[in-house]
Structure 1
Protein backbone atom coordinates (compact mmCIF):
# COMPACT_ATOMS: atom_id res chain seq x y z
CA UNK A 1 0.00 0.00 0.00
CA UNK A 2 1.52 3.34 -1.04
CA UNK A 3 2.66 5.92 1.51
CA UNK A 4 3.06 9.64 0.90
CA UNK A 5 4.89 12.48 2.65
CA UNK A 6 4.34 16.21 3.08
CA UNK A 7 5.10 19.11 5.39
CA UNK A 8 1.66 18.57 6.95
CA UNK A 9 -0.82 15.70 7.02
CA UNK A 10 -3.12 17.54 4.57
CA UNK A 11 -0.22 18.15 2.19
CA UNK A 12 0.71 14.47 2.29
CA UNK A 13 -2.91 13.48 1.64
CA UNK A 14 -3.21 15.93 -1.27
CA UNK A 15 0.00 14.56 -2.77
CA UNK A 16 -1.32 11.01 -2.52
CA UNK A 17 -4.70 11.82 -4.04
CA UNK A 18 -3.11 13.68 -6.95
CA UNK A 19 -0.60 10.87 -7.53
CA UNK A 20 -3.28 8.16 -7.49
CA UNK A 21 -5.74 10.31 -9.44
CA UNK A 22 -8.70 9.51 -7.16
CA UNK A 23 -11.07 11.65 -5.04
CA UNK A 24 -10.72 11.71 -1.26
CA UNK A 25 -14.06 9.95 -0.73
CA UNK A 26 -12.73 6.96 -2.68
CA UNK A 27 -9.88 6.11 -0.31
CA UNK A 28 -9.06 5.12 3.27
CA UNK A 29 -6.37 7.28 4.87
CA UNK A 30 -4.13 6.07 7.72
CA UNK A 31 -1.86 8.64 9.40
CA UNK A 32 1.54 7.04 9.99
CA UNK A 33 3.30 10.14 11.33
CA UNK A 34 2.18 13.67 12.07
CA UNK A 35 5.71 14.94 11.41
CA UNK A 36 7.42 17.77 13.22
CA UNK A 37 8.74 21.22 12.28
CA UNK A 38 12.02 21.08 14.20
CA UNK A 39 13.95 24.15 15.29
CA UNK A 40 15.01 26.42 12.41
CA UNK A 41 14.46 23.44 10.15
CA UNK A 42 16.81 21.19 12.15
CA UNK A 43 15.29 17.86 13.09
CA UNK A 44 12.21 18.43 10.95
CA UNK A 45 10.37 15.32 9.80
CA UNK A 46 7.63 15.08 7.17
CA UNK A 47 4.14 13.86 7.90
CA UNK A 48 3.40 10.41 6.45
CA UNK A 49 0.10 8.84 5.42
CA UNK A 50 -0.93 5.55 3.87
CA UNK A 51 -3.67 5.77 1.23
CA UNK A 52 -5.70 2.72 0.24
CA UNK A 53 -8.32 2.76 -2.51
CA UNK A 54 -11.63 1.43 -1.22
CA UNK A 55 -12.64 -1.93 -2.65
CA UNK A 56 -16.04 -0.72 -3.92
CA UNK A 57 -14.48 2.10 -5.92
CA UNK A 58 -11.73 -0.15 -7.22
CA UNK A 59 -14.31 -2.66 -8.46
CA UNK A 60 -16.39 0.09 -10.10
CA UNK A 61 -13.34 1.50 -11.85
CA UNK A 62 -12.38 -1.93 -13.17
CA UNK A 63 -15.95 -2.54 -14.35
CA UNK A 64 -15.77 0.73 -16.26
CA UNK A 65 -12.52 -0.32 -17.91
CA UNK A 66 -10.33 1.97 -15.79
CA UNK A 67 -7.11 1.26 -13.93
CA UNK A 68 -7.96 2.52 -10.39
CA UNK A 69 -4.24 3.23 -9.79
CA UNK A 70 -3.90 5.47 -12.87
CA UNK A 71 -1.62 8.32 -11.94
CA UNK A 72 -2.53 11.98 -12.01
CA UNK A 73 0.35 12.55 -14.41
CA UNK A 74 -1.12 10.08 -16.92
CA UNK A 75 -4.52 11.68 -16.56
CA UNK A 76 -3.13 15.16 -17.11
CA UNK A 77 -1.31 14.08 -20.26
CA UNK A 78 -4.51 12.53 -21.52
CA UNK A 79 -6.49 15.66 -20.74
CA UNK A 80 -4.12 17.62 -22.95
CA UNK A 81 -4.76 15.22 -25.85
CA UNK A 82 -1.42 13.45 -25.74
CA UNK A 83 -1.14 9.85 -27.06
CA UNK A 84 -3.46 7.36 -25.41
CA UNK A 85 -2.64 6.67 -21.77
CA UNK A 86 -1.18 3.41 -20.58
CA UNK A 87 -2.56 0.99 -18.02
CA UNK A 88 -6.13 1.01 -19.30
CA UNK A 89 -8.07 -2.26 -19.08
CA UNK A 90 -10.61 -3.47 -21.60
CA UNK A 91 -14.11 -2.38 -20.55
CA UNK A 92 -17.70 -3.18 -21.32
CA UNK A 93 -18.03 -0.33 -23.81
CA UNK A 94 -15.51 -1.87 -26.24
CA UNK A 95 -16.80 -3.02 -29.60
CA UNK A 96 -15.11 -6.11 -30.96
CA UNK A 97 -13.52 -6.49 -34.40
CA UNK A 98 -11.52 -9.34 -35.95
CA UNK A 99 -8.12 -8.79 -37.56
CA UNK A 100 -6.41 -10.94 -40.20
CA UNK A 101 -5.12 -13.38 -37.59
CA UNK A 102 -8.63 -14.06 -36.32
CA UNK A 103 -8.08 -12.45 -32.91
CA UNK A 104 -10.46 -9.90 -31.44
CA UNK A 105 -9.43 -6.36 -30.56
CA UNK A 106 -11.40 -3.30 -29.45
CA UNK A 107 -12.61 -0.89 -32.09
CA UNK A 108 -11.84 2.75 -31.32
CA UNK A 109 -14.85 4.98 -31.92
CA UNK A 110 -16.21 8.17 -30.39
CA UNK A 111 -19.49 6.43 -29.57
CA UNK A 112 -17.68 3.65 -27.69
CA UNK A 113 -15.51 6.21 -25.90
CA UNK A 114 -18.48 8.29 -24.72
CA UNK A 115 -20.37 5.17 -23.66
CA UNK A 116 -17.35 4.03 -21.64
CA UNK A 117 -17.08 7.42 -19.92
CA UNK A 118 -20.82 7.45 -19.15
CA UNK A 119 -20.61 3.97 -17.65
CA UNK A 120 -17.48 4.81 -15.64
CA UNK A 121 -19.01 7.97 -14.16
CA UNK A 122 -22.28 6.31 -13.20
CA UNK A 123 -20.64 3.32 -11.53
CA UNK A 124 -17.75 5.08 -9.77
CA UNK A 125 -19.87 7.95 -8.39
CA UNK A 126 -22.58 5.54 -7.25
CA UNK A 127 -19.87 3.52 -5.49
CA UNK A 128 -19.05 6.66 -3.49
CA UNK A 129 -22.59 6.63 -2.10
CA UNK A 130 -23.76 9.55 -4.25
CA UNK A 131 -26.95 9.35 -6.28
CA UNK A 132 -26.22 10.82 -9.70
CA UNK A 133 -27.81 11.31 -13.10
CA UNK A 134 -25.31 11.73 -15.93
CA UNK A 135 -26.21 13.47 -19.19
CA UNK A 136 -23.94 14.58 -22.00
CA UNK A 137 -23.99 17.14 -24.79
CA UNK A 138 -21.59 18.41 -27.44
CA UNK A 139 -19.70 21.63 -26.80
CA UNK A 140 -17.05 23.40 -28.82
CA UNK A 141 -14.03 21.13 -28.98
CA UNK A 142 -15.52 18.22 -27.09
CA UNK A 143 -18.29 16.84 -24.89
CA UNK A 144 -19.54 17.99 -21.51
CA UNK A 145 -21.00 15.53 -19.00
CA UNK A 146 -23.47 17.15 -16.59
CA UNK A 147 -23.73 15.46 -13.20
CA UNK A 148 -26.96 15.99 -11.24
CA UNK A 149 -26.18 14.65 -7.77
CA UNK A 150 -27.79 14.64 -4.34
CA UNK A 151 -24.45 15.61 -2.74
CA UNK A 152 -23.03 18.35 -4.94
CA UNK A 153 -20.42 19.54 -2.45
CA UNK A 154 -19.04 16.03 -1.90
CA UNK A 155 -18.85 15.40 -5.63
CA UNK A 156 -17.08 18.69 -6.30
CA UNK A 157 -14.66 18.39 -3.38
CA UNK A 158 -12.47 21.05 -1.80
CA UNK A 159 -11.35 23.51 -4.48
CA UNK A 160 -12.82 21.14 -7.09
CA UNK A 161 -10.30 18.37 -6.42
CA UNK A 162 -12.82 15.52 -6.61
CA UNK A 163 -14.53 16.65 -9.81
CA UNK A 164 -11.15 17.43 -11.39
CA UNK A 165 -9.79 13.97 -10.53
CA UNK A 166 -12.86 12.35 -12.07
CA UNK A 167 -12.48 14.56 -15.13
CA UNK A 168 -8.83 13.55 -15.58
CA UNK A 169 -9.75 9.86 -15.48
CA UNK A 170 -12.74 10.38 -17.79
CA UNK A 171 -10.47 12.13 -20.31
CA UNK A 172 -7.94 9.30 -20.08
CA UNK A 173 -10.65 6.73 -20.72
CA UNK A 174 -12.05 8.60 -23.72
CA UNK A 175 -8.57 9.05 -25.23
CA UNK A 176 -8.12 5.29 -24.94
CA UNK A 177 -11.47 4.39 -26.55
CA UNK A 178 -12.39 7.31 -28.81
CA UNK A 179 -10.95 8.44 -32.13
CA UNK A 180 -11.27 12.24 -31.96
CA UNK A 181 -9.19 14.58 -29.81
CA UNK A 182 -12.23 15.79 -27.91
CA UNK A 183 -11.93 17.53 -24.57
CA UNK A 184 -14.06 15.85 -21.89
CA UNK A 185 -15.50 18.21 -19.29
CA UNK A 186 -17.45 17.34 -16.14
CA UNK A 187 -19.80 19.86 -14.56
CA UNK A 188 -21.97 19.81 -11.45
CA UNK A 189 -24.74 22.41 -11.59
CA UNK A 190 -23.08 25.68 -12.57
CA UNK A 191 -19.78 24.89 -10.82
CA UNK A 192 -17.56 25.36 -13.90
CA UNK A 193 -19.14 28.75 -14.66
CA UNK A 194 -18.72 29.91 -11.06
CA UNK A 195 -15.17 28.60 -10.93
CA UNK A 196 -14.29 30.45 -14.13
CA UNK A 197 -15.58 33.72 -12.66
CA UNK A 198 -13.54 33.13 -9.49
CA UNK A 199 -10.37 32.52 -11.52
CA UNK A 200 -10.98 35.61 -13.64
CA UNK A 201 -11.35 37.74 -10.52
CA UNK A 202 -8.21 36.13 -9.06
CA UNK A 203 -6.29 36.96 -12.23
CA UNK A 204 -7.35 40.61 -12.15
CA UNK A 205 -6.60 40.91 -8.42
CA UNK A 206 -3.14 39.40 -8.95
CA UNK A 207 -2.49 41.79 -11.82
CA UNK A 208 -3.36 44.80 -9.65
CA UNK A 209 -1.03 43.55 -6.93
CA UNK A 210 1.80 43.10 -9.41
CA UNK A 211 1.30 46.60 -10.82
CA UNK A 212 1.19 48.12 -7.34
CA UNK A 213 4.25 46.32 -5.94
CA UNK A 214 6.31 45.60 -9.03
CA UNK A 215 6.79 42.06 -7.76
CA UNK A 216 5.52 38.79 -9.28
CA UNK A 217 2.62 36.85 -7.73
CA UNK A 218 2.89 33.07 -7.44
CA UNK A 219 -0.48 31.31 -7.46
CA UNK A 220 -1.38 27.89 -6.09
CA UNK A 221 -1.07 24.84 -8.37
CA UNK A 222 -4.06 24.25 -10.63
CA UNK A 223 -4.95 21.95 -13.54
CA UNK A 224 -4.09 22.94 -17.10
CA UNK A 225 -7.60 24.04 -18.11
CA UNK A 226 -7.74 26.44 -15.14
CA UNK A 227 -4.28 27.81 -15.89
CA UNK A 228 -5.51 28.49 -19.41
CA UNK A 229 -8.31 30.68 -18.02
CA UNK A 230 -5.74 32.71 -16.07
CA UNK A 231 -3.53 33.19 -19.12
CA UNK A 232 -6.46 34.21 -21.32
CA UNK A 233 -7.83 36.68 -18.77
CA UNK A 234 -4.57 38.64 -18.66
CA UNK A 235 -3.43 38.14 -22.26
CA UNK A 236 -4.38 41.73 -23.20
CA UNK A 237 -3.00 43.38 -20.07
CA UNK A 238 -0.18 45.73 -21.14
CA UNK A 239 1.46 45.83 -17.70
CA UNK A 240 1.72 42.16 -16.71
CA UNK A 241 2.49 38.80 -18.26
CA UNK A 242 1.75 35.25 -17.17
CA UNK A 243 3.62 31.99 -17.40
CA UNK A 244 3.35 28.49 -15.97
CA UNK A 245 6.13 26.76 -14.08
CA UNK A 246 6.55 23.51 -12.21
CA UNK A 247 5.64 19.94 -13.03
CA UNK A 248 2.08 18.57 -13.06
CA UNK A 249 0.19 18.08 -10.85
CA UNK A 250 2.00 20.91 -9.03
CA UNK A 251 2.29 23.28 -12.01
CA UNK A 252 1.32 26.86 -11.16
CA UNK A 253 0.82 30.30 -12.73
CA UNK A 254 3.10 33.27 -12.16
CA UNK A 255 1.81 36.79 -12.80
CA UNK A 256 4.78 39.12 -13.29
CA UNK A 257 5.54 42.67 -14.50
CA UNK A 258 5.78 42.75 -18.28
CA UNK A 259 9.39 42.92 -19.43
Structure 2
Protein backbone atom coordinates (compact mmCIF):
# COMPACT_ATOMS: atom_id res chain seq x y z
CA UNK A 1 0.00 0.00 0.00
CA UNK A 2 1.16 3.53 -0.78
CA UNK A 3 2.37 5.67 2.13
CA UNK A 4 1.24 9.25 2.69
CA UNK A 5 3.22 11.80 4.69
CA UNK A 6 1.51 14.54 6.71
CA UNK A 7 2.43 17.23 9.21
CA UNK A 8 0.60 18.87 12.09
CA UNK A 9 1.04 20.82 15.27
CA UNK A 10 0.98 17.53 17.19
CA UNK A 11 1.38 13.84 16.47
CA UNK A 12 -2.36 13.35 16.89
CA UNK A 13 -3.19 16.13 14.43
CA UNK A 14 -0.76 14.75 11.84
CA UNK A 15 -2.30 11.30 12.26
CA UNK A 16 -5.79 12.75 11.91
CA UNK A 17 -4.92 14.44 8.63
CA UNK A 18 -3.35 11.22 7.37
CA UNK A 19 -6.52 9.28 8.19
CA UNK A 20 -8.60 11.80 6.26
CA UNK A 21 -6.34 11.47 3.24
CA UNK A 22 -6.43 7.69 3.36
CA UNK A 23 -10.17 7.67 3.96
CA UNK A 24 -10.00 4.97 6.65
CA UNK A 25 -10.51 4.68 10.40
CA UNK A 26 -7.63 4.66 12.89
CA UNK A 27 -7.73 0.88 13.40
CA UNK A 28 -7.34 0.31 9.64
CA UNK A 29 -4.11 2.32 9.31
CA UNK A 30 -0.53 1.99 10.47
CA UNK A 31 1.78 4.91 11.26
CA UNK A 32 5.45 5.79 11.43
CA UNK A 33 6.45 8.87 13.43
CA UNK A 34 9.13 10.68 11.43
CA UNK A 35 9.51 13.80 13.56
CA UNK A 36 8.06 15.07 16.83
CA UNK A 37 7.53 18.72 17.82
CA UNK A 38 10.34 20.03 20.02
CA UNK A 39 9.62 21.82 23.31
CA UNK A 40 10.65 25.44 23.36
CA UNK A 41 10.81 28.24 25.91
CA UNK A 42 7.88 28.84 28.28
CA UNK A 43 6.15 25.62 27.24
CA UNK A 44 5.78 26.59 23.59
CA UNK A 45 6.32 24.04 20.87
CA UNK A 46 8.80 24.49 18.03
CA UNK A 47 8.52 22.75 14.69
CA UNK A 48 5.86 20.37 13.45
CA UNK A 49 5.02 16.73 13.90
CA UNK A 50 5.56 14.62 10.80
CA UNK A 51 4.15 11.11 10.31
CA UNK A 52 3.92 8.53 7.58
CA UNK A 53 0.78 6.40 7.21
CA UNK A 54 -0.76 3.77 4.98
CA UNK A 55 -3.74 1.45 4.91
CA UNK A 56 -2.91 -1.52 7.10
CA UNK A 57 -2.24 -4.65 4.98
CA UNK A 58 -4.94 -7.24 5.45
CA UNK A 59 -4.08 -10.46 7.26
CA UNK A 60 -7.42 -12.16 7.97
CA UNK A 61 -6.19 -15.74 7.94
CA UNK A 62 -5.69 -15.99 11.72
CA UNK A 63 -9.08 -14.34 12.27
CA UNK A 64 -10.82 -16.86 10.06
CA UNK A 65 -9.06 -19.72 11.78
CA UNK A 66 -10.14 -18.42 15.16
CA UNK A 67 -13.70 -18.10 13.90
CA UNK A 68 -13.69 -21.71 12.71
CA UNK A 69 -12.27 -22.93 16.00
CA UNK A 70 -14.93 -20.92 17.85
CA UNK A 71 -17.70 -22.60 15.88
CA UNK A 72 -16.29 -26.06 16.63
CA UNK A 73 -16.10 -25.27 20.34
CA UNK A 74 -19.67 -23.96 20.34
CA UNK A 75 -20.91 -27.05 18.54
CA UNK A 76 -19.18 -29.62 20.76
CA UNK A 77 -21.30 -29.27 23.95
CA UNK A 78 -24.57 -29.52 22.04
CA UNK A 79 -23.53 -32.82 20.45
CA UNK A 80 -22.37 -34.31 23.73
CA UNK A 81 -25.29 -33.10 25.81
CA UNK A 82 -28.16 -33.82 23.42
CA UNK A 83 -27.96 -37.65 23.32
CA UNK A 84 -28.44 -40.45 25.82
CA UNK A 85 -25.74 -42.80 27.08
CA UNK A 86 -25.78 -44.93 23.95
CA UNK A 87 -25.49 -41.75 21.88
CA UNK A 88 -22.41 -40.68 23.81
CA UNK A 89 -20.46 -43.54 22.30
CA UNK A 90 -21.33 -42.37 18.81
CA UNK A 91 -20.68 -38.66 19.45
CA UNK A 92 -16.87 -38.74 19.12
CA UNK A 93 -17.08 -40.44 15.72
CA UNK A 94 -19.72 -37.99 14.44
CA UNK A 95 -17.80 -34.99 15.71
CA UNK A 96 -14.55 -36.24 14.22
CA UNK A 97 -16.18 -36.73 10.81
CA UNK A 98 -17.65 -33.24 10.86
CA UNK A 99 -14.33 -31.72 11.85
CA UNK A 100 -12.52 -33.61 9.10
CA UNK A 101 -15.08 -32.49 6.52
CA UNK A 102 -14.88 -28.88 7.72
CA UNK A 103 -11.08 -28.93 7.56
CA UNK A 104 -11.24 -30.40 4.07
CA UNK A 105 -13.71 -27.74 2.95
CA UNK A 106 -11.57 -24.98 4.41
CA UNK A 107 -8.48 -26.28 2.64
CA UNK A 108 -10.34 -26.12 -0.67
CA UNK A 109 -11.37 -22.50 -0.27
CA UNK A 110 -9.46 -20.08 -2.54
CA UNK A 111 -9.81 -17.39 0.12
CA UNK A 112 -7.52 -19.28 2.47
CA UNK A 113 -4.96 -20.10 -0.21
CA UNK A 114 -4.72 -16.67 -1.82
CA UNK A 115 -2.34 -15.00 0.72
CA UNK A 116 0.29 -17.65 -0.09
CA UNK A 117 -0.39 -17.60 -3.84
CA UNK A 118 -0.14 -14.92 -6.51
CA UNK A 119 -1.92 -11.61 -5.77
CA UNK A 120 -5.42 -11.09 -7.10
CA UNK A 121 -5.63 -9.63 -10.59
CA UNK A 122 -7.11 -6.11 -10.24
CA UNK A 123 -8.88 -6.59 -13.59
CA UNK A 124 -10.68 -9.64 -12.23
CA UNK A 125 -11.62 -7.81 -9.03
CA UNK A 126 -13.05 -5.01 -11.18
CA UNK A 127 -14.97 -7.54 -13.30
CA UNK A 128 -16.58 -9.05 -10.21
CA UNK A 129 -17.54 -5.59 -8.97
CA UNK A 130 -19.02 -4.68 -12.36
CA UNK A 131 -21.06 -7.89 -12.42
CA UNK A 132 -22.53 -7.17 -9.00
CA UNK A 133 -23.34 -3.52 -9.80
CA UNK A 134 -25.08 -4.40 -13.06
CA UNK A 135 -27.16 -6.95 -11.20
CA UNK A 136 -28.03 -4.37 -8.56
CA UNK A 137 -29.11 -1.83 -11.19
CA UNK A 138 -31.12 -4.49 -12.98
CA UNK A 139 -32.94 -5.37 -9.76
CA UNK A 140 -34.09 -1.74 -9.61
CA UNK A 141 -35.27 -1.87 -13.20
CA UNK A 142 -32.58 0.57 -14.35
CA UNK A 143 -30.59 0.28 -17.57
CA UNK A 144 -26.90 0.77 -16.80
CA UNK A 145 -23.37 0.18 -18.04
CA UNK A 146 -20.03 -0.04 -16.26
CA UNK A 147 -16.48 1.13 -16.85
CA UNK A 148 -13.38 0.42 -14.77
CA UNK A 149 -10.27 2.53 -14.33
CA UNK A 150 -7.30 0.60 -12.92
CA UNK A 151 -4.06 2.21 -11.71
CA UNK A 152 -1.87 -0.36 -10.00
CA UNK A 153 -3.87 -1.71 -7.06
CA UNK A 154 -6.35 1.20 -7.16
CA UNK A 155 -9.61 0.36 -8.91
CA UNK A 156 -12.52 2.67 -9.66
CA UNK A 157 -15.65 1.11 -11.13
CA UNK A 158 -18.14 3.57 -12.62
CA UNK A 159 -21.82 2.68 -12.96
CA UNK A 160 -23.59 4.89 -15.47
CA UNK A 161 -27.17 5.02 -16.69
CA UNK A 162 -30.56 6.54 -16.03
CA UNK A 163 -32.66 6.37 -12.86
CA UNK A 164 -29.65 5.65 -10.63
CA UNK A 165 -30.31 8.44 -8.13
CA UNK A 166 -31.68 5.92 -5.62
CA UNK A 167 -28.24 4.30 -5.49
CA UNK A 168 -26.55 7.64 -4.76
CA UNK A 169 -28.82 8.91 -2.00
CA UNK A 170 -28.61 12.20 -0.09
CA UNK A 171 -25.05 13.55 -0.28
CA UNK A 172 -23.80 10.17 -1.49
CA UNK A 173 -24.82 8.27 1.66
CA UNK A 174 -26.35 5.35 -0.26
CA UNK A 175 -23.41 5.33 -2.68
CA UNK A 176 -21.07 4.80 0.27
CA UNK A 177 -23.17 1.82 1.41
CA UNK A 178 -23.17 0.38 -2.13
CA UNK A 179 -19.37 0.72 -2.21
CA UNK A 180 -19.01 -1.13 1.11
CA UNK A 181 -21.27 -3.97 -0.05
CA UNK A 182 -19.48 -4.24 -3.40
CA UNK A 183 -16.13 -4.55 -1.62
CA UNK A 184 -17.51 -7.40 0.50
CA UNK A 185 -18.92 -9.17 -2.57
CA UNK A 186 -15.63 -8.85 -4.48
CA UNK A 187 -13.70 -10.17 -1.48
CA UNK A 188 -15.96 -13.19 -1.11
CA UNK A 189 -15.71 -14.03 -4.80
CA UNK A 190 -11.99 -13.36 -5.20
CA UNK A 191 -10.66 -14.04 -1.72
CA UNK A 192 -8.58 -11.58 0.27
CA UNK A 193 -6.69 -9.09 -1.86
CA UNK A 194 -4.74 -5.86 -1.45
CA UNK A 195 -6.54 -3.82 -4.09
CA UNK A 196 -8.41 -0.64 -3.18
CA UNK A 197 -11.87 -0.58 -4.75
CA UNK A 198 -13.91 2.60 -5.23
CA UNK A 199 -17.37 2.89 -6.74
CA UNK A 200 -18.83 5.89 -8.54
CA UNK A 201 -22.42 6.09 -9.76
CA UNK A 202 -23.58 8.52 -12.42
CA UNK A 203 -20.37 10.52 -12.10
CA UNK A 204 -21.38 11.67 -8.61
CA UNK A 205 -17.93 11.48 -7.06
CA UNK A 206 -16.28 13.42 -9.89
CA UNK A 207 -18.95 16.14 -9.69
CA UNK A 208 -18.75 16.24 -5.90
CA UNK A 209 -14.95 16.46 -5.99
CA UNK A 210 -15.01 19.35 -8.48
CA UNK A 211 -17.69 21.29 -6.61
CA UNK A 212 -16.16 20.71 -3.18
CA UNK A 213 -12.63 21.58 -4.35
CA UNK A 214 -13.87 24.84 -5.82
CA UNK A 215 -15.84 25.68 -2.67
CA UNK A 216 -13.02 25.03 -0.17
CA UNK A 217 -10.57 27.09 -2.20
CA UNK A 218 -13.02 29.99 -2.01
CA UNK A 219 -13.27 29.48 1.75
CA UNK A 220 -9.46 29.36 1.98
CA UNK A 221 -9.25 32.70 0.15
CA UNK A 222 -11.67 34.19 2.68
CA UNK A 223 -9.61 32.79 5.56
CA UNK A 224 -6.46 34.42 4.16
CA UNK A 225 -8.27 37.76 3.65
CA UNK A 226 -9.86 37.84 7.09
CA UNK A 227 -7.07 36.14 9.03
CA UNK A 228 -9.75 34.10 10.80
CA UNK A 229 -10.05 30.31 10.85
CA UNK A 230 -13.15 28.68 9.39
CA UNK A 231 -14.66 25.32 10.31
CA UNK A 232 -16.46 23.53 7.50
CA UNK A 233 -19.62 21.53 8.01
CA UNK A 234 -19.30 17.96 9.24
CA UNK A 235 -18.60 15.54 6.40
CA UNK A 236 -17.58 11.90 5.83
CA UNK A 237 -13.94 10.87 5.54
CA UNK A 238 -14.14 10.66 1.72
CA UNK A 239 -15.14 14.35 1.52
CA UNK A 240 -12.55 15.38 4.12
CA UNK A 241 -9.92 13.70 1.96
CA UNK A 242 -11.07 15.80 -1.02
CA UNK A 243 -10.73 18.96 1.09
CA UNK A 244 -7.21 18.13 2.27
CA UNK A 245 -6.12 17.13 -1.25
CA UNK A 246 -7.61 20.28 -2.78
CA UNK A 247 -5.71 22.53 -0.36
CA UNK A 248 -2.51 20.55 0.12
CA UNK A 249 -0.54 22.67 -2.36
CA UNK A 250 -1.39 25.99 -0.71
CA UNK A 251 1.20 27.54 1.61
CA UNK A 252 -0.99 30.42 2.83
CA UNK A 253 -3.33 28.19 4.86
CA UNK A 254 -3.28 24.98 6.90
CA UNK A 255 -5.95 22.36 7.51
CA UNK A 256 -6.73 19.93 10.29
CA UNK A 257 -9.76 17.91 11.40
CA UNK A 258 -11.64 18.19 14.67
CA UNK A 259 -14.34 16.14 16.39
CA UNK A 260 -15.47 12.54 16.12
CA UNK A 261 -17.42 10.87 13.33
CA UNK A 262 -20.09 11.51 12.21
CA UNK A 263 -19.55 15.11 13.36
CA UNK A 264 -15.90 15.36 12.36
CA UNK A 265 -15.08 18.48 10.33
CA UNK A 266 -12.15 20.19 8.61
CA UNK A 267 -10.87 23.49 9.98
CA UNK A 268 -9.00 25.90 7.68
CA UNK A 269 -6.61 28.29 9.41
CA UNK A 270 -4.24 31.00 8.14
CA UNK A 271 -0.66 29.78 7.73
CA UNK A 272 1.47 30.21 10.84
CA UNK A 273 -1.47 30.26 13.23
CA UNK A 274 -0.66 28.60 16.55
CA UNK A 275 -3.09 27.23 19.12
CA UNK A 276 -3.39 28.94 22.46
> Is 1:209 paired with 2:211?
no
- Alignment match, 1:253: 266
Which one has a bigger Cα radius of gyration? 2
CA distance in 2, matches of 1:141, 1:105: 23
Alpha-carbon deviation of 1:163? 1.9
- Larger fraction in helix: 2
Structure 1's 237 and 135: CA in aligned 2 closer, same or farther, altered over 3 A? closer
Residues 84 and 175 of structure 1 are in contact (CA less than 8 Å); yes or no, is this contact kept in structure 2? no
Alpha-carbon deviation of 1:213? 3.1
Unpaired segments of 5 or more residues in structure 1? 1-72, 88-98
Question: What is the SS of the residue equivalent to 2:110?
Answer: strand
Question: What is the SS of the residue equivalent to 1:155?
Answer: helix
Which of 158, 163, 167 does residue 151 from structure 1 map onto? 163
* Aligned pairs (5 A) from 1:5-16: none
TM-score (normalised: structure 1): 0.53
- Alignment match, 2:104: 102
* Aligned pairs (5 A) from 1:64-103: 81-82=55-56, 83=58, 101-103=103-105
Residues 110 and 191 of structure 2 are in contact (CA less than 8 Å); yes or no, is this contact kept in structure 1? no
CA distance in 2, matches of 1:129, 1:144: 23
Could you tell which deviates more after superposition, 225-234 or 114-123? 114-123
Which of 138, 143, 158 does residue 126 from structure 1 map onto? 138
Structure 1's 241 and 185: CA in aligned 2 closer, same or farther, altered over 3 A? same
- Alignment match, 2:247: 234
> What does the per-residue CA deviation read over 1:133-184, in whole Å, with 9 as the maximum and x for residues that have no partner?
2332413541121212221433332222222221233234445645543221
- Alignment match, 1:221: 234
RMSD (Å), alpha carbons: 3.8
Residue-pair matches, total = 175
> What does the per-residue CA deviation read over 1:81-112, in whole Å, with 9 as the maximum and x for residues that have no partner?
4447899xxxxxxxxxxx99522323343466
- Alignment match, 2:194: 181
- Alignment match, 1:169: 181
Structure 1's 77 and 228: CA in aligned 2 closer, same or farther, altered over 3 A? same
CA distance in 1, matches of 2:130, 2:103: 32
Alpha-carbon deviation of 1:127? 3.0
TM-score (normalised: structure 2): 0.51
* Aligned pairs (5 A) from 1:185-196: 185-196=198-209
CA distance in 2, matches of 1:84, 1:247: 27
